[in-house]
């Protein structure tokens, strides 16, 4: 294009940047986000539960960790490959972390239980970050995903969520809302596309 | 082929057109419901517009900052001036890693650059992993919508396609079964991939990170399993700070499908241990669009597809009729900037109703820009003789009140009295596929004067 030599990477970089410099408009101001204009009177716990369900997830209110794991064991009885990253629950694991080094074992993972410290009421999104995740692919490749979160860790909007994670240094993180889904065949919603087939949320 | 000729072909199957029209209008409704549930939605749109406009006015510096931070994060950064250079860069990265099998999640940019045929020519297998994109890839077609790539396909067509390529059983187009089979097929591709390519929804200057949004989880399945991740982005994907994601993630999914957020909004910053991450930053005509004061706002687009879903022309003509990677209203203001002659019919594929500008989450004045392109196209490209003459005649009539009155009288009388065969005769394109109304007895002017 335009007879520009493109072998040299530096030259493409500089050519693009200099064209931008010439072609951009005069500097416009960056608007400031005033979060107050978005405030509504909704109860954030109710709103969060509603939005998780809208996105295809199930919400179960729970009291203690023991209670949660008892319920999970009833939902997914013997014979399933289960793994959790929660503290003091190692007895729940049917495999240890080293098994995930093989692709096959990864693919066989049935149930993964994670903990989150941030949920967003307006859309039911839950923040899962690298530091609490032994492998990035786990919440996507598992068949069933279970997340435990405290009510006190919910915020109303995405703005507050980003305020909260601004101080963290995450190499990878995901806002996750519901199980994977698609409507690519004639707009019919199908739960369970390439990622997890189901999402259950335990709200403490 | 111009837009109206291509649209005529799409309209041959009336049942399908009606379904297409209704399905997209339903998505538009879901968008409304979702947007109206947000307190301060208009303020959110103002912020989206303001942040993007500011970013464009300082784009070079933000790109430099982004690159600096990405490099610090251990990510390799490449720059491409056009589609061809982009393809060569991606190809050389794959070669370097000896990658033969590649999985790709949705990226309109790689469509725009025609990456797939480029890689396939060298024997590299490249699999589109978004279900809709996989469907059109198997059908050897292109996406007809930027968010719903296979919206032009019926479930029966998908059924047949999967039987042929994936060996599925005939199922009468059962979406559940077909999606399940696609899941199995794609799992195998993810697990065996040598490299993953993704697009970028937002790239954050002050962290060097980037965000990819999907519902299916395909971008994550690819990127977290393969040893190499290549993310391709246009220069306009930059936003200044991470906190700005709060604005854009609130706008994007609600505008696109009516969801409150996509299932996965994945924030990538550093490669995982033992793997490589590359970012390719692409111009391909964007800096030129930036130079046009009337059209530069089109670079604010966050690719939600709302303008397509709401457009009465798009819904009834289908994405392929635009013969461009980005169809619909936004495509019609981007494409002429790339090739004015080839895409000269697109700005006319609009009623100028303005619905696109009303729904656009970053407040691009789409219909105004369509109108401005029309002015340029009419001046710079040759217009058909009939159009030139009729415009001249109309201009003459409209400028002379007495003449206008006389012609009006004749026209009203004709509409009431002439047989349909004459009114709807060939030269009258308005009479195609529809009956004209019966002419009123008096003009507005007469009615106004005679009213009591
Ligand atoms: S122009 Fe606006 S409405 Fe259309 S796809 Fe882009 S952001 Fe969405």
- E strands of B269-318, at which residues? 276-282
Question: Within this chain, do residues B134 and B44 fall inside the same structural domain, yes or no?
Answer: yes
Helix axes B245-256, B41-56, angle to 10 degrees: 120
**Half-sphere CA count of B169, side-chain side, radius 13 A:** 5
Residues of A in contact with B290 (CB under 8 A): 19-20, 23-24
In chain A, what residues touch B43 (CB-CB under 8 Å)? Answer: 34, 37-38
Residue B3 located in a structural domain: no
Structural domain span for residue A136: 32-203
CA distances from A110 to A76, A147, B172, B289, B432 (A): 9, 14, 30, 49, 59
Please indicate whether, in this complex, the C-beta atoms of B39 and A40 are within 8 angstroms of each other. Answer: yes
State whether B273 and B295 are in the same domain: no
Report yes or no on B24 lying in a domain: no
> Taking 90 as the threshold, does the pLDDT of residue B164 lie above it?
yes
User: Would you call A28 and B54 a contact, using CB atoms and an 8 Å cutoff?
Assistant: yes
In this predicted model, what pLDDT tens digit does every residue of B381-417 receive, in sequence order?
A: 888 888 889 889 999 999 999 999 999 999 899 888 8
Q: For residues A65 and B233, give the distance between their C-alpha atoms in angstroms, rounded to a whole number.
A: 43
Considering the domain boundaries, does residue B145 fall inside one?
yes
Least confident span in A196-200, B113-117, B166-170, B380-384 = B380-384
ipTM of the complex: 0.94
Q: Are residues B81 and B126 in the same domain?
A: yes
Assigned domain for B25 exists: no
List the pLDDT tens digit at each of the 204 positions of chain A: 444 444 444 589 999 999 999 999 999 999 999 999 999 999 999 999 999 999 999 999 998 998 999 999 999 987 789 999 998 888 888 888 888 887 777 889 999 999 999 999 999 999 999 998 989 999 999 999 999 999 999 999 999 999 999 999 999 999 999 999 999 999 999 999 999 999 999 999
Report d(CA B183, CA B174) in Å as an integer: 14
Please tell me the distance between residue B403's alpha carbon and the centre of ligand 1 in angstroms. Answer: 43
Q: How far is the CA of B133 from the centre of ligand 1 (A)?
A: 20
Question: Does some domain include residue B66?
Answer: yes
Q: Are B86 and B151 found together in one domain?
A: yes
Task: State phi, psi for B123 to the nearest 5 degrees.
Answer: 80, 15
Distance CA B35, CA B14 (A): 32
Which of B380, B415, B437 represents a domain boundary (last residue)?
A: B380
Q: How far apart are CA B92 and CA B100, in angstroms?
A: 12
* First-to-final CA distance of chain A: 59
User: Is A128 a member of any domain?
Assistant: yes
Per the structure, the complete domain to which residue B430 belongs is given by 387-451
Mean residue pLDDT of chain B comes to: 94
Query: Could you give the CA distance from residue A35 to residue A53 in angstroms, rounded to a whole number?
Result: 25
Residue B298 CA: which ligand 1 atom is closest? Answer: 1
Site to substitute for ligand 1 among B255, B330, B370, most atoms within 8 A of C-beta: B330
pLDDT of B213 reads 97
Determine the distance in angstroms separating the CA of A135 from the nearest CA of chain B, rounded to an integer.
8
Condensed to tens digits (0 to 9), the pLDDT of residues B175-227 reads: 999 999 999 999 999 999 999 999 999 999 999 999 999 999 999 999 999 99
| CATH at residue A140 | 3.40.50.10420
Cβ–Cβ gap A28/B40 under 8 Å: no
Chain A residue closest in CA terms to B47: A31
Q: Do A38 and B39 touch (CB under 8 A)?
A: yes
B264 C-alpha to ligand 1 centroid (Å): 20
Residue with tokens 């609490």: A132
- List beta partners, residue B121: none
> Token pair of B232, please?
């391709």
Residues B52-62 pLDDT 10s: 999 999 999 99
C-beta separation of B297 from B247 below 8 A: no
Residue among B249, B325, B361 whose CB has most ligand 1 atoms within 8 A, to mutate? B361
- CATH number, residue B219: 3.40.50.10420
CB contact under 8 Å between A188 and B155, yes or no, is: yes
Q: 3-state SS string over B365-397?
A: CHHHHHHHHHHHHHHHCCCCHHHHHHHHHHHHH
B16 contacts chain A (CB < 8 A): no
**Alpha-carbon dihedral of residues B3, B5, B9, B10, nearest 10 degrees?**
20
The answer to whether position A16 is within a domain reads no
B86 and B119 share one domain: yes
Cβ–Cβ < 8 Å for A130, A155: no
Q: How many domains does chain A have?
A: 1
Is residue B375 domain-shared with residue B428, that is, in the same domain? Answer: no
B168 and B60 share one domain = yes
List Cβ neighbours of B442 (8 Å cut-off, separation of 6 or more).
B450
User: If you average pLDDT over residues B69-79, what whole number do you get?
Assistant: 98
In a domain, B5, yes or no: no
**Which numbered atom of ligand 1 lies nearest the CA of B326?**
5
A166, B254 in Cβ contact below 8 A? Answer: no
Residue A10: the pLDDT is 59
B408 at the A interface (CB within 8 A)?
Answer: no
Q: Of A166, A194, A195, which to mutate for an interface test with B (greatest number of B Cβ within 10 Å)?
A: A194
Whether B278 and B329 share a structural domain: no
Nearest residue (by CA) to ligand 1, atom 4, is B307
Tens of pLDDT, residue by residue over B242-296, are 999 999 999 999 999 999 999 999 999 999 999 999 999 999 999 999 999 999 9
A145 DSSP β-pair partners: A112, A199
Are B57 and A196 a contacting pair at CB < 8 A? no
Upper half-sphere CA count for residue A193 (Cβ side, 13 Å): 27
Picking from B257, B284, B311, the residue at the C-terminal end of a domain is: B284
B243 in reach of chain A (CB within 8 A): yes
Contact B112, B83 (CB under 8 A): yes
Q: Beta strand B264-268 with A172-176: parallel, antiparallel or unpaired?
A: antiparallel
The enclosing H or E element of A156 equals none
End-to-end alpha-carbon separation of chain B, Å? 54
Residue where one domain finishes, among candidates B357, B380, B403 = B380
B window 166-225, beta carbon within 8 A of A: 173, 175-176, 178-180, 183, 186-187, 190-191, 215-218, 220-221, 224-225
pLDDT of B141 reads 95
Q: Mind telling me how many Å the CA of A10 is from chain B's nearest CA?
A: 8
- Nearest-Cα residue of chain A relative to residue B190: A194
Q: Are residues B241 and B371 in the same domain?
A: no
| pLDDT, position B438 | 85
Distance CA B433, CA B424 (A): 9
Residues of chain B found within 8 Å of residue A166, distances taken between Cβ atoms: 242-243
Is residue A31 within 8 A of residue B51, CB to CB? The reply is yes
Residue-level pLDDT at A2: 45
Contact residues on chain B for A137, CB-CB shorter than 8 A: 220-221, 224-225
| Six token digits for residue B378 | 């009419």
Token pair 């993972």 is found at A109
Sign of the alpha-carbon torsion through A54, A60, A63, A66: negative
Q: Per the structure block, which two tokens stand in for B295?
A: 């059209």
Do B87 and B220 belong together in one domain?
A: yes
Give yes or no for a contact between A182 and A39, defined as CB atoms under 8 angstroms apart. no
State which ligand 1 atom lies nearest to the alpha carbon of B303. Answer: 5
Q: Which of B186, B112, B101 is nearest to B142 (CA)?
A: B112
User: Nearest 5 degrees, angle CA A135-CA A136-CA A142?
Assistant: 85
- Per the domain annotation, does A3 fall within a domain? no
The predicted structure's pLDDT at residue B160: 96
- CA torsion sign for B159, B187, B268, B66 is negative
3-class SS string, B65-127: HHHHHHHHCCCEEEEECCHHHHHHHHHHHHHHCCCCEEEECCCHHHHHCCHHHHHHCCCCEEE
Domain annotation covers residue B267: yes
B92 in contact with A at a CB cutoff of 8 Å? no
Residue with tokens 């690298």: A130
B313 and B272 within one domain:
no
Beta bridge partners of B134: none
In a domain? residue B17: no
| Number of domains within chain B | 3
* Cβ proximity of B231 and B202 under 8 Å: no
Quote the tokens at residue A201. Answer: 């949320």
Residues with CB under 6 A from ligand 1: B 255, 301-307, 330, 359-362, 364, 366
φ/ψ of residue B302, rounded to 5: -105, 15
Together in a domain, B56 and B78? yes
pLDDT of residue A3: 43
Those residues whose C-beta lies under 8 Å from the C-beta of residue B396, and which sit 6 or more positions away, are B403
Q: For the whole model, what pTM was predicted? A: 0.93
Determine whether the interchain pair A137/B225 forms a contact, defined as Cβ–Cβ distance below 8 Å.
yes
Q: Is B74 on the interface with A (CB under 8 A)?
A: no
């Amino acid at each position: 294009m335009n007879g520009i030599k493109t072998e040299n990477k530096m030259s493409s970089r500089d050519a693009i940047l200099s064209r931008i410099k010439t072609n951009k408009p005069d500097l416009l101001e960056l608007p400031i986000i005033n979060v107050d204009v978005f405030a509504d009177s909704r109860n954030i716990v109710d709103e969060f539960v509603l939005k998780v369900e809208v996105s295809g997830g199930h919400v179960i209110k729970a009291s203690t960790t023991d209670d949660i794991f008892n319920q999970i064991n009833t939902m997914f009885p013997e014979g399933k490959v289960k793994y959790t990253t929660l503290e003091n629950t190692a007895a729940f694991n049917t495999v240890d972390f080293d098994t995930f080094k093989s692709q096959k074992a990864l693919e066989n993972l049935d149930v993964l239980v994670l903990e989150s410290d941030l949920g967003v009421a307006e859309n039911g999104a839950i923040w899962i970050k690298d530091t609490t995740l032994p492998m990035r692919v786990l919440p996507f490749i598992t068949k069933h995903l279970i997340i435990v979160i405290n009510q006190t860790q919910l915020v109303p909007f995405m703005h507050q969520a980003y305020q909260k994670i601004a101080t963290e240094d995450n190499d990878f993180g995901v806002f996750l809302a519901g199980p994977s889904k698609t409507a690519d065949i004639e707009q019919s919603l199908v739960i369970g596309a390439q990622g997890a087939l189901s999402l259950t949320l335990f709200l403490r | 082929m111009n837009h109206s000729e291509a649209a005529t072909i799409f309209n041959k199957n009336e049942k399908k057109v009606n379904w297409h029209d209704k399905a997209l209008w339903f998505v538009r409704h879901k968008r409304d419901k979702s947007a109206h549930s947000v307190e301060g939605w208009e303020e959110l749109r103002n912020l989206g517009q303001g942040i993007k406009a500011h970013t464009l006015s300082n784009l070079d510096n933000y790109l430099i900052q982004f690159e600096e931070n990405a490099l610090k994060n251990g990510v390799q950064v490449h720059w491409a001036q056009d589609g061809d250079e982009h393809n060569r860069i991606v190809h050389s990265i794959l070669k370097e890693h000896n990658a033969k099998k590649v999985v790709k999640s949705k990226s309109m940019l790689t469509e725009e650059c025609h990456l797939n045929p480029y890689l396939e020519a060298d024997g590299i297998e490249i699999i589109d992993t978004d279900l809709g994109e996989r469907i059109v890839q198997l059908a050897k077609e292109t996406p007809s919508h930027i968010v719903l790539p296979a919206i032009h396909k019926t479930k029966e067509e998908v059924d047949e396609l999967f039987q042929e390529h994936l060996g599925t059983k005939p199922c009468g187009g059962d979406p559940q079964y077909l999606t399940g089979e696609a899941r199995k097929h794609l799992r195998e591709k993810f697990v065996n991939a040598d490299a993953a390519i993704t697009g970028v929804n937002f790239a954050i200057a002050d962290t060097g990170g980037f965000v990819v949004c999907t519902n299916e989880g395909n971008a994550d399945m690819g990127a977290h399993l393969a040893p190499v991740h290549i993310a391709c982005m246009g220069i306009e994907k930059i936003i200044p700070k991470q906190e700005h994601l709060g604005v854009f993630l609130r706008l994007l999914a609600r505008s696109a499908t009516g969801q409150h957020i996509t299932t996965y909004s994945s924030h990538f910053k550093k490669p995982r241990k033992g793997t490589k991450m590359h970012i390719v930053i692409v111009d391909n005509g964007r800096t030129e669009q930036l130079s046009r004061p009337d059209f530069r706002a089109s670079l604010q687009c966050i690719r939600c597809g709302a303008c397509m879903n709401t457009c009465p022309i798009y819904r009834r003509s289908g994405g392929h009729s635009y013969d461009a990677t980005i169809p619909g209203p936004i495509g019609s203001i981007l494409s002429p900037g790339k090739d004015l002659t080839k895409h000269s019919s697109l700005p006319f594929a609009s009623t100028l109703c303005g619905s696109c500008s009303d729904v656009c989450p970053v407040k691009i004045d789409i219909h105004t820009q369509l109108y401005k392109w029309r002015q340029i196209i009419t001046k710079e490209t040759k217009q058909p003789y009939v159009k030139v003459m009729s415009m001249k005649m109309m201009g003459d009539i409209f400028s002379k009140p007495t003449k206008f009155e006389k012609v009006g009288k004749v026209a009203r009388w004709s509409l009431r009295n002439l047989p349909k065969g004459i009114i709807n005769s060939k030269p009258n394109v308005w009479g195609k596929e529809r009956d004209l109304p019966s002419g009123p007895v008096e003009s507005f002017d007469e009615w106004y004067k005679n009213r009591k």
